[in-house]
């Protein structure tokens, strides 16, 4: 008999800002899972450019009308949040070896904290291999054009945040 449980994964991050690479990973995650929760971390060691509310709003806009995607915020330990959601899988994207080192350490710590929570890695789509939220922010802050690397509403907010006026959308 086939298992009828809902296949649910949590894709956590700061999403500051949300990139097309993030969106691609969620869409590909839906090929494997019935539902993906995009979980925006409230607690972060990073200094976000966008407030939690702005990041949540941009993510909700990006996935509006997309069945199977839920956008939420969370605080505290990720594994506790995943367990509260009724999920057992953390979905993470990998771009390069540098991602692997950090993600591997986090996966092992999460596994130590909650043995029933598993981490699943998906390689990024080749087209987004070089993008990261950090590179997007640095480029936009310097006045660079990141259109096409982020959803349009994110690009509009980056232009406003950094006073970018020399690019036409």
The tens digit of pLDDT for each residue in 66-102 reads 999 999 999 999 999 999 999 999 999 998 777 888 9
Of 12, 28, 15, whose CA–CA distance to 106 is shortest?
12
Q: Which pTM does this prediction carry?
A: 0.92
Q: What is the DSSP letter of 1?
A: -
Tokens, residue 90 = 């953390």
CATH of domain 8-130: 3.40.50.620
Q: Considering the chain, what percentage of its residues have pLDDT values greater than 70?
A: 94
What positions carry a catalytic annotation? Answer: 22, 46, 95, 133
């Amino acid at each position: 008999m086939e298992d009828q449980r809902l296949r649910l994964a949590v894709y956590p991050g700061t999403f500051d800002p949300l990139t097309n690479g993030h969106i691609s990973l969620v869409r590909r995650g839906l090929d494997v899972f019935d539902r993906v929760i995009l979980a925006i971390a409230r607690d972060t060691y990073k200094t976000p450019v966008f407030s939690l509310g702005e990041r949540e709003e941009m993510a909700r806009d990006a996935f509006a009308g997309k069945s199977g995607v839920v956008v939420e915020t969370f605080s505290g330990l990720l594994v506790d949040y995943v367990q509260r959601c009724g999920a057992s899988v953390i979905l993470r994207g990998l771009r390069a070896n540098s991602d692997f080192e950090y993600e591997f350490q986090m996966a092992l710590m999460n596994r130590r904290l909650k043995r029933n929570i598993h981490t699943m890695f998906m390689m990024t789509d080749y087209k987004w291999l070089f993008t990261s939220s950090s590179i997007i922010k640095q480029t936009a802050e310097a006045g660079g054009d990141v259109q096409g690397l982020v959803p349009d509403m994110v690009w509009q907010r980056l232009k406003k945040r950094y006073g970018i006026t020399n690019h036409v959308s």
